[in-house]
Amino acid sequence: MNSNLIWLVFTPLIGSAIAAILYNYKFLDRLITFSTFAITLFLVFGTHVGQTYSMNLNFMGRMIPLSWNVTHLSIFMLYISIVFGTILTFYSLMDRSRMKGFLLLLILAANNWIFTTNDMVGFFFAWELMGWASIVSVLGGRKERKSRHAALYYALMSIGGSYSMFFGLFTLWRLTGSFSISSNLAYLSSIVGVHPWWVLGIVSLFFVTFMIKAGIFPFHTWVPMAYAYAPDTFTPFLSAVMSKYGIYGMLLFLPISLMEKGMPTVFGLPWVNYIFVWIGVITAVLGTVLAFFQDDVKKLFAYSSLSNLGYIVAAISLFTSVGVTAGIYHAFNHLLFKGALFITLAAVISRSGTSKLSEMGGLWKKMPVTFFTFFIGIASAAGIPPFNGFGSKWLIYQSMIKQHLLFATILLFLASTGAFLYLFKAFHSIFLGQLSHNYDNVKEVPVIGQIVEYLLMFAMIFFGIQPGYILRPVGLIVKSVGLNPLAVMGNGYVTGMFSNVDMPLIGWSLAISFVFGFILFFISAKHKYVSQEDNYTAGQIPQDWGLTPETYQFSWKFYEPMEKLFAPFYRIKIDGFFRGLGDWTRITGSAVKQVFVGNAQIYTLFAVVGLIILVIAGWVA
Amino acid sequence: MSIFNNAALLIGVPLLFAFSIPLFGLISKQLTKWVTLLTISFNATFSLYILLAHKYPSIVVMGNWLPPFGENLYIGPVAALLVSLISVMGLLIAIYNLWSIKKGDVTRFSVLFLMFTAGASGMVLTGDIFNLFIFMEITGISSFALAAYGPEKRALGGAFKFLVVSSIGSTLYLLGVTLIYTQLGTLNIAEIAARINQTTPGLLTFAGVLIVSGLAVEAELFPFNGWVPDTYTGAINGVSAALSGIGAVSGVYALFRIAMTVFGKDGTYVSSYGNLNFMAVIAVLATATVVIGELSALTQKNVKKMLAYSSMAQMGLVAVGLSIGNELGVYGGIFQLVNHSIAKTMMFLILGVLVASGVGENIDDFRGLWKRSPFLSLAFSVGAFSMLGFPLFGGFWSKFAIVGASIQRGGWYDFIIGLVLFASIVEAFYYLRIVGYMFSSDSKFPKLKTPWTPTIPIFILAVSIIAIGVFPQIVGTFSAQAASEFTHKMSGYVLNVIPTIAAH
């Protein structure tokens, strides 16, 4: 019995109540949020694997046991989410967006509960709590109308997902009479050989929820809207931490697939897993392709998140040692670099006042620290060694090739190449190119923001060249789900199946080549800086061609040929189905409403008809 | 027996004061509102005392004639909980009325409001199906008049529709009661319940159909609920609050007292005697109510009308929960009844304050309300979240129990709860849309000045929603006892009223 586990949940709740009371004093709200995150982090230091706690909840006139159980996976997720949250809330101390600290604390409470609970009542409670707190958090982005729409769309998907889980957990309860997650999973594993379809049905009720939360195809449609129009400081949390709840849930249920003896297999995988690998691959490719087209930088990175979540799902669905290792490792890496990217975006947007790529450009001189953080972030996201995104992508490819999923691997490679393109688009459009005159007075973010950026830079480089610090705990998780962990040769090595990569070596060689590059740059001829319009135009006056300084920017219609190439794909609207469902419901609603526009006679008639139907029913019975 | 053990006071005192209020009115019109308030606060104190000091189950006999010969009141867990709910809601609305009812015939309003509360309490307490009819009429007639109160013309239309449909309902109910009386020669609920299988099945079925249809009018079940939107929208907000927070409670109670105790047949899931299983009939009606109510509310631009549809749909949800017929389902249903009563009363009161301070009833008028009145918009959001069953708010636990019980029962209840959950997504859309509008900042209007009198009940209700959400046992303990009463008709009800009777 370790009561510190319950304090992991109650501390944020208490903090949230205090922050909510002081909501009007924005700085206090943020300060309390940050301190609560820090306190919770200290509580996590005292949390160890194997700790349990249980209490009884007086519900339905009987006692429902609530239990907490810390596993290797939960402690890993707790650490990465809370550390990131602490950094983010520290950043938010100086920020002007309308993120509500007390809602973030509610999500933190749910976060800690989800990762440590061992009963479905607590899991569902926390899941719903996280759901509504994040829905309300999405409200209050810079563009109100759009953020309202995004929040509603997200709400409908999220609530639909919760109800699916509602069904699943009560079906399990009907079957086993218990709410305990571990015993229910054991039960599912025990019957999966006998009733594979039953198990599949129940598990897919849960998986729909997890896929919605992680934003996996075909439930990804809320992701770009919600990420793009959420308050700028909340988006990092949405993308970095909240998408991982879905991954966590999937990891809970995936061990069942080990027992699936009765199911036919494809490429040595149970076919359900095989389908999931493809869902992951489709998500990865789709995210990449759609990211090309985006002019809104937050939307671009939202699609990038989608793509990365696709990688993770593809890897963990294999459910091999390398696959799960790679998936969890990539989840961590994605949390780090995407969190860093969205924080830098928040910094850029707060300074420039726009999130449109075509309106930005040349900001690197004005915001150098942000620029370097962003640079390392996209290098990580593109999987360039020695930054932190490389190792996990490399392991993902290995795990796919090991399973002989050649075509899927090729698609993932293509998605990764595409990632280079859109990441460069963002990089170039925001920071390189020419500075627009609108931004002559833009300043670097305040000191707090710079501290956070240096910290994130350091983390991305550190975990890139010292992957062992992450691979060791990931190995423990892999062991705990019943697979052989990968050997970790040293802190500096990523150990794959075919070869080992010495990350510090790569780091040094890259650093040396950079130094060479700089030397060449300095000893070469002097450069002349010209204004934006003073440019090589082959004797033409730009204005004659209808070009304005705005359209003369490099970031204007970046990748236009590429967009034309992929334009046919863009017409396939995945969210058409959901919108159609919504429209259909609305039309039905308007039609049904007509029932209640009558006068007293009509209502009387209804009552009489109802009575007659009942009488006939009684007669027939 | 001390006089304060006599629960008949819960009906007698309000009625006495209701009829003496015109005398107070001679002194001052404002005095009548205070008399109402004090009378209902007596009721609230007394009923809470009964509930919290666990003075139940007990029966109150009239004129020392023991049941089944005399009339009796029965205070079981259900009655104790619901009469407390009714009185407390009545008290809070009476506080609101102190501020809201200024013009017009204040005296008559006070009379009607007291009669309404007394009638609703009587419906919950009585142990006699004919007295149930009488109290239903008292509640009904006072609520038509209350609904017509106010300066607006639409109030008259709404009240008239309510009058017509409700009269039909009472007539059907009375017919059904008559049929049963011809068969059994008694009007005592306990005795009828014990001897219900001595009746001719065909006649029992017909009587049951009449009674269920009649009571479905008050319980707002489709297709007997045509009056709901217009009446709720037409009435002044305090009355709408009373209709959904008090009237609907007693209506649902009466429906399930008859369906589960009188016609009920104990089992794992309560079913009913007669050729038709009335629990199943109610389940179908309730599901239709939920789906139709939520869909109608979806495109509604008038917030008050939307609340009316939502009220209807929520009563459907309550009825779905109760109709499952096992302890968990009834627990959820009663719990949901309490939660809905609290939340919807609060939302109507908020709407009343808003309308009085010049904010319209349309959804567009809610834009930027957060900036104009943080307290009211926060309270409204709390109510909406409770209605949607979000955790940390009361509604979570009741919805959890209802869904759990449905899936536990399985079979066609899986389908029913699927429809209900779909309707809940629709509900989430329209409530969250309002919340979204409130939190937007594009408001050009100045801050609202919130008068402090109506904020007292709103504050109490909002806090109680969160309190129930965090500590569900505040209501859960009582609704679990209530569930046990509803699902065990002999040990839970009949034997407590007539200990000597044997089931036939």
Domain boundaries, chain B: 3-497
**What residues of chain B lie within 8 A of the CB of A131, using their CB?**
390
Please give the pLDDT value at position A261: 61
E strand or H helix at A65, and its extent? strand A62-69
> Given an 8 Å threshold on Cβ–Cβ distance, is A609 in contact with B212?
no
Q: Which amino acid is at A471?
A: L
Please give the pLDDT value at position A535: 59
| Contact of A297 with A341, CB cutoff 8 Å | no
> Given an 8 Å threshold on Cβ–Cβ distance, is A61 in contact with B484?
yes
- C-beta atoms surrounding B286 within 10 Å: 30
Q: HSE on the CB side for A112, CA within 13 Å?
A: 26
Q: What residues does A68 pair with on adjacent strands?
A: A53, A117
E strand or H helix at B61, and its extent? strand B58-61
Answer whether residue A549 shows pLDDT above 50.
yes
| Contact of A420 with A413, CB cutoff 8 Å | no
Nearest to A49 by CA among A29, A69, A30: A69
B191 touches chain A (CB under 8 A): no
Q: Match 């897993």 to its residue by tokens.
A: A273
B268 touches chain A (CB under 8 A): no
Answer whether residue A516 shows pLDDT above 60.
yes
Cα B142 from Cα B111, distance rounded (Å): 9
pLDDT band at A564 (very low <50, low <70, confident <90, very high): confident
Tokens of B156: 């008259």
Q: Which of B400, B439, B484 sits opposite A139 (nearest CB)?
A: B439
pLDDT band at A434 (very low <50, low <70, confident <90, very high): confident
> Given an 8 Å threshold on Cβ–Cβ distance, is A128 in contact with B210?
no
Total count of residues recorded for chain B: 504
Tokens of A235: 């988006």
> Given an 8 Å threshold on Cβ–Cβ distance, is B226 in contact with A598?
yes
B48 touches chain A (CB under 8 A): no
Q: Match 């135009």 to its residue by tokens.
A: A537
CA distances from B135 to A143, B15, B35, B323 (A): 55, 11, 22, 24
Closest residue in chain B to residue A123, using alpha carbons only: B391
> Given an 8 Å threshold on Cβ–Cβ distance, is B226 in contact with A607?
yes
A614 touches chain B (CB under 8 A): yes
Lowest-pLDDT choice from A112-116, A220-224, A292-296: A292-296
Cα A470 from Cα A488, distance rounded (Å): 10
Please give the pLDDT value at position A537: 59
Q: Match 């920071």 to its residue by tokens.
A: A431
A599 touches chain B (CB under 8 A): yes
> Given an 8 Å threshold on Cβ–Cβ distance, is B298 in contact with A58?
no
**What residues of chain A lie within 8 A of the CB of B213, using their CB?**
607, 610-611, 614
Sign of CA dihedral A296, A297, A299, A300: positive
Closest chain B C-alpha to A243 CA, distance in angstroms: 20
Please give the pLDDT value at position B1: 45
Scanning A485-599, the segments in alpha helix (DSSP H) are 503-523, 560-570, 576-593
> What distance separates the 2 farthest-apart alpha carbons in chain A?
102
> Given an 8 Å threshold on Cβ–Cβ distance, is A596 in contact with B407?
no
| Contact of B382 with B374, CB cutoff 8 Å | no
pLDDT by residue (tens digit) across A436-477? Answer: 777 778 888 888 888 999 999 999 988 888 888 888 888 888
Q: Which of A107, A170, A594 to mutate to test the interface with B (most CBs of B within 10 A)?
A: A170
pLDDT band at A505 (very low <50, low <70, confident <90, very high): confident
Please give the pLDDT value at position B173: 92
pLDDT by residue (tens digit) across A225-263? Answer: 889 888 888 999 999 999 999 999 998 888 877 666 666
Decide: helix, strand or coil at residue A574. coil
Please give the pLDDT value at position A492: 74
Which residues 80-119 of B have a C-beta within 8 angstroms of A? none
Please give the pLDDT value at position A538: 62
pLDDT band at A61 (very low <50, low <70, confident <90, very high): low
Please give the pLDDT value at position A260: 61
Closest chain B C-alpha to A459 CA, distance in angstroms: 36
Q: Which of A6, A29, A55, A60 to mutate to test the interface with B (most CBs of B within 10 A)?
A: A60
Cα A23 from Cα A232, distance rounded (Å): 18
Tokens of B206: 């017909």
Q: Match 């080549």 to its residue by tokens.
A: A513
Decide: helix, strand or coil at residue B54. coil
Q: Which residues of A75-108 are buried (b: 16+ CB within 10 A; e: fewer)?
A: bbbbbbbbbbbbbbbbbbbbbebbbbbbbbbbbb
Which residues 375-414 of A have a C-beta within 8 angstroms of B? none
A14 touches chain B (CB under 8 A): no
**What residues of chain A lie within 8 A of the CB of B327, using their CB?**
60-61
E strand or H helix at A54, and its extent? strand A52-59
Q: What is the 3-state secondary structure (H, E, C) of A386-452?
A: CCCHHHHHHHHHHHHHHCCCHHHHHHHHHHHHHHHHHHHHHHHHHHCCCCCHHHCCCCCCCHHHHHH
Q: What is the dihedral of CA B484, B489, B491, B492, to 10 degrees?
A: 40
Cα A423 from Cα A404, distance rounded (Å): 29
Tokens of B502: 């044997």
Tokens of B123: 């419906």
Please give the pLDDT value at position A553: 65
> Given an 8 Å threshold on Cβ–Cβ distance, is A152 in contact with B439?
no
Closest chain B C-alpha to A135 CA, distance in angstroms: 9
Cα A542 from Cα A544, distance rounded (Å): 5
Decide: helix, strand or coil at residue A53. strand
Q: What is the 8-class DSSP label of residue B75?
A: E
A106 touches chain B (CB under 8 A): yes
Please give the pLDDT value at position B440: 79
Higher pLDDT, A423 or B266: A423
Q: Which of A61, A139, A155 sits opposite B331 (nearest CB)?
A: A61
| Contact of B233 with B304, CB cutoff 8 Å | yes
Which residues 304-363 of B have a C-beta within 8 angstroms of A? 309, 327-328, 331-332
pLDDT by residue (tens digit) across A115-171? Answer: 999 888 889 999 999 999 999 888 878 888 888 888 888 998 899 999 999 888 888
A25 touches chain B (CB under 8 A): no
Cα A225 from Cα B319, distance rounded (Å): 38
**What residues of chain B lie within 8 A of the CB of A174, using their CB?**
407-408, 410
> Given an 8 Å threshold on Cβ–Cβ distance, is B165 in contact with A135?
no
E strand or H helix at B321, and its extent? helix B303-324
Crossing angle of the two packed helices A447-465 and A503-523, in degrees rounded to 10: 120
Closest chain B C-alpha to A603 CA, distance in angstroms: 5
Answer whether residue A204 shows pLDDT above 80.
yes
Report chain B (504 residues): mean pLDDT per 10 consecutive residues. Answer: 66 87 84 88 88 81 72 85 92 89 82 91 89 91 88 84 88 91 86 84 87 89 86 88 90 90 83 82 91 88 90 92 88 92 92 86 84 86 91 89 88 89 90 87 75 89 91 85 85 81 64
Q: What is the DSSP track for A245-314?
A: HHHHHHHHHTTHHHH--SS-EETTEEHHHHHHHHHHHHHHHHHHHHHHT--BHHHHHHHHHHHHHHHHHH
Tokens of B420: 């209900």
- C-beta atoms surrounding A590 within 10 Å: 14
Please give the pLDDT value at position A84: 92
Higher pLDDT, B405 or A385: B405
Cα B469 from Cα B267, distance rounded (Å): 31
Closest chain A C-alpha to B68 CA, distance in angstroms: 29
**What residues of chain B lie within 8 A of the CB of A212, using their CB?**
none
> Given an 8 Å threshold on Cβ–Cβ distance, is B425 in contact with A128?
no
Tokens of A497: 């199946």
CA angle B155, B157, B159 (to 5 degrees): 65
Q: Which of B226, B292, B309 sits opposite A602 (nearest CB)?
A: B226
> Given an 8 Å threshold on Cβ–Cβ distance, is B403 in contact with A166?
yes
Tokens of A191: 């019957």
B274 touches chain A (CB under 8 A): yes
Both ends of chain B: CA-CA distance in Å?
Answer: 33
